[in-house]
Amino acid sequence: MSSPLPTSSMNLETALIGQALLGGWTITSLRVEVSSGPIRIPTLSFEATDGQQSKALVKVLDLRIDPAAPDELKDLELRLMVFNYQRQLIERLAGERLRGVVRGLQSGSIPFASAPLGRIYFLIVEWSDDDLRSQVALNDRFDSAYALRVLHQTATALHELHQREVAHLSVRPANIVFIAETVKLGEFSCAVDARKPRPDGAPALDWASAPPEFLYQAPIDSMNARCLIDLYQLGSVVAYVFSGTSLTAQLGLKLQPIHHWKRWTGSFAEALPYVQHAFGDVLRDIAPNFPEACRDELIGAVRDLCAPDPALRGHPLNRAGQGLQYSTERYISLFDRLASRLELGIRRVPR
Amino acid sequence: MTTFADDGARRLIPRWRYSFSTALTAEHMGLARAGNILSPGRDLEDARVRFEDAPALITASELVSSAIVHLEPSRGLDAAQFLLARRSELMPEVIRQAEWITNDPLTIRGPPPISSDANLSSGLDVARRVIATRRIQLRLWPRDPISWLDLARAYAVTGHTKKASRAMDVALQLSPNHRVVLRLAARLAFHLGRADEAYTHIARHPRTKTDPWLMATELAFAQIVDRSPRFARDGYRFVDEARYSPGHLSELAGALATLDLAAGKHRRARGLFRRSLEDPTENAVAQVEWAKRTEPSLVVPQMARQVPNSFEAHYWRARRAGNWAVAVACAKDWLLDEPFSSRPATYGSSIAAMALDDYSAAESFARMGLVADQKDNSLWNNLAVALARRDKPYDAAYAFSRITASPRDSLPRFVANATRGLIAFRMGQVELGRRWYSEADLGASDGDMRKLVLLHWATEELRVDRTRAEVLLQRAGYDEGVVQDPLVAHMRADLERRVGGAGPERKGGIVTDNVKR
């Protein structure tokens, strides 16, 4: 049987509604992606049920040809390889039963006549109704103690990943999701497993959450360097929770256009003093947004987690040799301690 | 008095301004790097689609953030307007980002203009504010070399030289290889009278051999400390091969031209000065305006004249044209721009006193310059002259007593003697005054210098003995075939008029216009 040619005109989005997958899951509706991310590997997202009121998120690899791709075959091959890399990673993590990470439920492929190559390749992961963005909602700080609990669980999830030699590389509000009142870290399209090189080399990060070393194209060629990106992104989430925007966007705002990564023609080392200066301005601006009862600690956390120079990133004690530089353990304790302090003291009722 | 003799010493040493008032020239850009420009990916486009599909605070804020990180504010304009229409629902940082998008952020704005109403001490007020704000910011984030540079400059302006040194040391520790930090560290060392140290640091730094800006600094300091420059040959090659864009080569070409001018290679100097004006810094323009005194054929194009903050260049132009009021106004702007530098204070006090009889202004210039550098002998001398002219000879004597035998800033003996003569005249000790002026007359080597001594002496004599004044004026007469310095010509013409009985008594004594830094 010949497969239909993969073309972008195929309407897979609607054709897959009602399609039964493996493990008793059935696609029920298309999910409008609210998260962007660096989509080098295009996927379609659907909602699925298992017939027992359980919902899940289905990601189907989109193999329709991108007319803009310089080499269509190579592009298709790369999509398959990266999707498979992601699938294997999610399966490995699901086997580890991590509490802070969105769990993979099922993966595989099934024949589907109207899909390119005659099959669809899919991943099924836990369903989340909400993410951190809607909690922060831009208009006010949501309950600070609760925010710190979210940060505590995010730091814990990162610790779990780092312990298993996985760098997430996409820690941002859209990927911090709420599943049955538990905070979890989702979206593994950028993640790198230290045990296995990515087929596409280095992942393309979302600029709005990327650290300066990525934007100024410094080499990021070790697991240590990747985990330090996670650290920066964790600090950026801390800033986001209390100020409503990402730290990278705030840096971009403070930099003179000639020093901005989009225009800079020199090396990262040459740009660093200007970035350090912009970072100081950002810290000054966001400091008043942190709850007074733990302002110093939180500013200190953002300062150490988001230090523009990756060599100086991380908790000072870790940098001094007491543990791994990228360890989040001290921040897990810090956020827990601060949350308790607020809960005992100045807790406000969330809206 | 040392005006003309020392003017040959202008070097292209780096300018130093606060980070918020620095014109961001090529010096603040990176040299071209190898490798591809980072591909922007699709996140901006995706954010746009999401906002258009479902306009809401979250999607609008994400699009604004994405437009900022991609430096494409126009792509986030509608989202920013969407957010600003709901200002009351937003956190301050979100509002700030939306406002940035709507405020035409990519328009290149020059440094803030200097207010024409500003008085000379406003540089001190700014410095105090900078110290206060930077110290707070550095407590929050101490690894910010640019803030340490600002702090060092502010301390230099207020005369806290040790603190300035310490702040600069921190900046150097944080960014030991950064061009701007290296150049400004050399600039401060020079300000503190440690030109040798400045030269050695730049000459030995591994980056200097590849960086045209550091090369220019090495060439300038080599001339100051009277060493043979290490990188002249490399510098000529860089300029000949146009290895970098004209903006990166501007000061290097200017420094090489200055070197050639001093060596008598006028033709090559002219060519290099022209190269330095292709995409010039204001420092390079000032260098050419200064060089025009001996190389009048040099042309400064209109474009170069419009470079922001060209106060020194404007000063030289006005001085050359004998436009003294404008020259003093330019010296004031220049001093407000570089309050730690003694050169604008020295020039301003000299011209105000010698050409305009404005001794009050001369005193203000000198006092302002002395805040930053208490050891500047030329400024103490100029202050003494200004005070004596204001008939405060005892205050003048005190100011004169502050002149030290500093090897870095030795006041020419004939200048000191002339000032002694002035103070003695104003104390009523006419014979003593004559003896000192006579010593000064004998000690002045250069023709113009001697004329200035005589003119100042004649001015004092005019108060007590008109006949002697006429004799001295005659001795300070025209030399056939010699180009007259406009200031000497102006002073003589003025004195001739008054000796002829037309005008009131005026001046006497010598004000130094000593080029030091």
- Per-residue burial over B380-398, b = 16 or more CB atoms within 10 Å of its CB, e = otherwise: bbbbbbbbbbeebbebbbe
H or E element that contains B512: none
Asked if B393 and B509 count as a contact pair (C-beta separation under 8 A), the reply is no
Q: Name the token pair of B88.
A: 């009351």
Residue with tokens 């640091």: B201
CA dist., res. B62 & res. A268, Å (int): 26
Residue A261 at interface with chain B, using a CB cutoff of 8 Å: yes
CATH annotation of B120-297:
1.25.40.10
A204-221, pLDDT tens digit by residue?
A: 888 999 999 999 999 998
Contacts of A268 in chain B (CB under 8 A): none
Q: Name the token pair of B143.
A: 């690894």
Contacts of B46 in chain A (CB under 8 A): 36-37, 39
Domain A12-126, what architecture? 2-Layer Sandwich (3.30)
A180-189, pLDDT tens digit by residue?
A: 889 999 989 8
CA of A95 to nearest chain B CA: how many angstroms apart?
32
Domain with CATH 1.10.510.10 in chain A: 130-344
Contacts of B30 in chain A (CB under 8 A): 264-267, 270-271
Residue B92 at interface with chain A, using a CB cutoff of 8 Å: yes
CA dist., res. A306 & res. A270, Å (int): 19
B 251-270: CB under 8 A from A: none
A62-98, pLDDT tens digit by residue?
A: 888 777 777 888 888 888 898 899 999 999 999 988 9
Which of A179, A175, A274, A289 is CA-nearest to residue A234? Answer: A175
Residue A102 has pLDDT above 70, yes or no: yes
Domain with CATH 1.25.40.10 in chain B: 120-297, 318-499
B192: left (phi over 0), alpha (psi -120 to 50) or beta: alpha
Gyration radius of chain B's alpha carbons: 27
Residue B302 has pLDDT above 90, yes or no: no
pLDDT at position A5 is 43
Under the banding of pLDDT at 50, 70 and 90, the label for residue B299 is confident
Q: Please give the angle made by the CA atoms of A35, A37 and A40, to the nearest 5 degrees.
A: 130
Three-state DSSP at B59 gives helix
Read off the pLDDT of each residue in B119-133 and give the average, rounded to a whole number: 89
Dihedral sign, CA of A5, A7, A11, A16? positive
Domain with CATH 3.30.200.20 in chain A: 12-126
H or E element that contains A116: none
Residue B514 has pLDDT above 60, yes or no: no
| pLDDT, averaged across chain A | 86
pLDDT at position A141 is 52
Asked if B154 and B166 count as a contact pair (C-beta separation under 8 A), the reply is no
CATH annotation of B318-499:
1.25.40.10
A 18-57: CB under 8 A from B: 32-34, 36-40
Contacts of A256 in chain B (CB under 8 A): 24, 28
CA of A22 to nearest chain B CA: how many angstroms apart?
31
Residue A6 has pLDDT above 50, yes or no: no
Residue A132 has pLDDT above 60, yes or no: yes
Q: Name the token pair of B116.
A: 């024409």
Q: Please give the angle made by the CA atoms of B248, B249 and B255, to the nearest 5 degrees.
A: 130
Fold of domain A130-344: Transferase(Phosphotransferase); domain 1 (1.10.510)
Of B24, B175, B177, the CB nearest to A256: B24
pLDDT at position B340 is 87
Under the banding of pLDDT at 50, 70 and 90, the label for residue B42 is confident
Of A267, A269, A276, the CB nearest to B143: A276
Note whether A38 contacts B41, CB cutoff 8 Å: yes
B391-405, pLDDT tens digit by residue?
A: 999 999 999 998 877
Asked if A249 and A172 count as a contact pair (C-beta separation under 8 A), the reply is no
B442-464, pLDDT tens digit by residue?
A: 888 777 888 889 999 999 999 99
- The answer for residues whose C-beta is within 8 angstroms of residue B80's C-beta and 6 or more apart is B60, B64, B67, B73, B97, B98, B99, B101, B102
Residue B235 has pLDDT above 50, yes or no: yes
Residues of chain A by 3-state class (helix, strand, coil), percent to 5? 45, 15, 40
Residue B3 has pLDDT above 70, yes or no: no
pLDDT at position A111 is 87
Q: Please give the angle made by the CA atoms of B2, B4 and B7, to the nearest 5 degrees.
A: 95
The neighbouring-strand residues paired with A58 are: A46, A124
Residue B4 has pLDDT above 50, yes or no: no
Read off the pLDDT of each residue in A283-312 and give the average, rounded to a whole number: 94
ipTM topping 0.85: yes
| pLDDT, averaged across chain B | 86
Which of A31, A23, A333 is CA-nearest to residue A155? Answer: A333
B 126-165: CB under 8 A from A: 136-138, 140-141, 143-147
Contacts of B138 in chain A (CB under 8 A): 280
Note whether B145 contacts A312, CB cutoff 8 Å: no
B242-273, pLDDT tens digit by residue?
A: 888 899 999 999 999 999 988 888 899 999 99
Read off the pLDDT of each residue in A135-140 and give the average, rounded to a whole number: 62
